[in-house]
Amino acid sequence: MTPSRMNVESFNLDHRLVSAPYVRVADRKTLPHGDVITKYDVRFTQPNVGHLEMKAVHSLEHLFAEYSRNHSHAVIDFSPMGCQTGFYLILAGDPDLAVVLELIESSLTDILNATEVPAANEVQCGWGENHSLEAAQVAARDFLAQRTVWEQVFA
């Protein structure tokens, strides 16, 4: 029996067939007034095989959200996946994939050079002590080391 089509794009993706790390367009929407937004699946680890620890996820979210906006005004959001295998990067418009990959590469390189996690405190964050700059930098380094395969989604 084939499952029925789901409303959430990633629920229709066969996670057994992808080969992380990768970056893929997960969705494009034209909003009621004609604006376009594009959602990218930025997958760090192989689904159902590995995952990022929560402190790494949380810190990557803070770091990437802050640093990516230094490189692009199109960044709307950078959100972690609940499965802890990657993130959704949402951008205004429909930029060329090469531009998106450069944005990701530049932002992750900034993370490698960071000396602290931005807003990692109880005033600016809902769980300020749940961060690890070191874990975020390891994940960023590992992802960057595989830059040549980011466009290859399936094995």
- The parts of the chain modelled with pLDDT lower than 70 are 1-2
Q: What is the pLDDT of residue 1?
A: 62
Helix 97-112 × helix 54-68 angle, to 10°: 110
Place of tokens 């990516």: 68
What is the tens place of the pLDDT at every residue in 69-104? Answer: 999 999 999 999 999 999 999 999 999 999 999 999
Does any domain span residue 77?
yes
Range of the domain at 102: 17-145
CATH classification of the domain holding 85:
3.30.1360.80
Does any domain span residue 150?
no
Q: What is the pLDDT of residue 149?
A: 98
Q: What is the pLDDT of residue 3?
A: 73
pTM: 0.96
Structural domains in the chain (count): 1
Nearest C-alpha neighbor of 81 from the set 55, 44, 132, 126? 44
Q: What is the pLDDT of residue 155?
A: 86
Reading the block at residue 120, the tokens are 């990692």
Does any domain span residue 155?
no
Nearest C-alpha neighbor of 38 from the set 97, 103, 80? 97
CB 58 within 8 A of CB 109: no
Does any domain span residue 153?
no
Does any domain span residue 68?
yes
